[in-house]
Structure 1
Amino acid sequence: MSVCSSNPSCGEDVDELEAVSWYHYDLSRHAAEALLLSNGVDGSFLLRNSNKGPDCFAISVRAKDSVKHFNVRRQGGKYYFGFNDFATLQDFTSHLANQPLLGSETGNLIVLRVPYPRQVEEPSIYESVCVHTAMQTGRHESDLVPSAPSLGTKEGYLVKQGAIIKNWKQRWFTLNRNELKYFKDKMFVEPIRTLDLTACSAVQFDYSQERVNCFCLVFPERTFYLCAKSGVEADEWIKILRWKLSQIKKGR
C-alpha cells in the first residue's frame, strides 16, 4: 500500500488514510508545531507523514505550550503505535477516539483529546491593495530569502543551580522559538526569567558538579547549570538546544 500524500486525488492508488479527516499528508514538523500552537488547544493532535520513510508517520500533539511528536509505523496493513499494534486503520483510530494517555521517556503525560481537522473553515475576506510602491530598487528574486524563527518546542522539570547561593532547586522550563523560560513551578504563569538563546554560545554536558545528568548553557554574563531526571532527558534537552543554536547561527 503506497502513500499518495502529495496528491490526495491521484487516481486509483489512494491511501486509506485519505479518509481520516485529521491526516495532514505532508505537513512538516515545523508547520505542525506552528498550526497546533497557534490554533490548537491542550490535547489537540494530528497525523502526518514522517521523514523517516514510506509508511512512517507521526502523531503531533499539543501539550500546553509545546508540541510532542510520536512515531507511528505501518507494516503489512497493521499500525504500530507505542507498545500496541492495530490490525486495521479502524482499530487504530478507534483507539485514539478513546483519548489515550501517553507517557514519554521524559516522564511527561499527555492525553490525546481532540483531533485537529485537515479542512478548517476560514473567512473569504481579503484586503484590497490601496498603496503599492517599491521600498527598494535593484533587487531581484534571488534577494528574497525566506526567514522564520525555528520552532522546536520542549518543556519539563529541571533542577537548576542558583547564581549566588549554589543550591539546587527544581524549576519548570519551557522552550519556545528562541526563548528558554523557567518558572517556580508548572502552575505559575509568569516566568522567573527568560533566557534569549541568541546570546547563548554553547550547550554541553557538564561533569563539574556533584550531580548526574547535568548540562550547562554558556552566556556572556553567566553559565547556567541544569540537571535532568535521566540521561535520556538531558540528551533530549541538549540536542534540541544545540539545534536551536545552529538555526540561530544560520540566521533562521
Structure 2
Amino acid sequence: MSFYSDASNDDLSDELETLGWYHYDLSRHAAEALLMSNGVDGSYLLRNSNNGPGCFALSVRAKDSVKHFHVTRRDNVYRFGFNEFPNLHDFLRHFANQPLLGSDAGTLMVLKSPYPWRVEEPSIYESVRVHTAIQTGRTKDDLVPTAPSLGTKEGYLVKQGAFVRSWKQRWFTLHRYELKYFKDKMCEEPIRTLDLRSCTAVQFDYSQDKVNCFCLVFPERTFYLCAKSGVEADEWIKILQWKLSQIRKGR
C-alpha cells in the first residue's frame, strides 16, 4: 500500500493487514450503508479518510445512526482525540476498558462488534455487494433468512411512464424490501416506493421497442425499466429475483 510517507510504511501496512475490520478506501456513505443494513448497535470498522496520508476514520453504529471519528497516524503513534496509542491493538484495548465514545451531539457508543472486511457473497451476481454475517457457503441458498434486507443496489434506469408511456431516466435505490426511484440522484424524496413483498415476478422483457429492458410485475401495474447495458440489467434482475425468492421462503 502507498498511503504513508514515513519510514514505518511497511510496518504500518502489515499492522493494518492483520485487522479483519479495516476496509481500505470504503467511502463514508458505503460505511453507513453497511453498518445500518448489516450491523448492530456497537458495530465498527476502520477506513481511510479523505484528509490525506495517515488519516483514518473509525465508523461506529449507535442504534439508528453511524458516527465517524478521526484517527491519525503520525510518528509511529495513533492519535484519537487527546489520547495516543503505539498501535491499533492498544487503541482497542483502551476502549475495552473505557468503552464509551462521545460525539459532538453527546451520543455514547460502545465498540462491541468489528464489522469484517471479508464476507461471503452469493455467486449469482459477483458485482453486486451483498454482505452477510455468514462465513461459509457461496450460493444464494446459503444465506441467512434475513438476507433479503442486506442486499443493496443503486443506479440510473430508464422507466416507462404509467399514462403517457414516455421513457424517462430515474435514480433507483434498492434497500431491504423497498425499491425507490427519484427524479435524479440529488433528490432526497422518492417519486415512489415499491414494496417488493407485493411483486409477483421480475424478468427480462422483449415486448418494448428497447434493449436491456426488464419488468417488475405487481398486481396493480407492471413497471418497465431499461438499463444501460445487458450486464447491468442482468444484475438488477438477479438481485431482485433473489429477494423475491427469499420473501417467498419466509412466508
TM-score by length of 1: 0.49
Write 1 or 2 for the structure with the bigger share of helix. 2
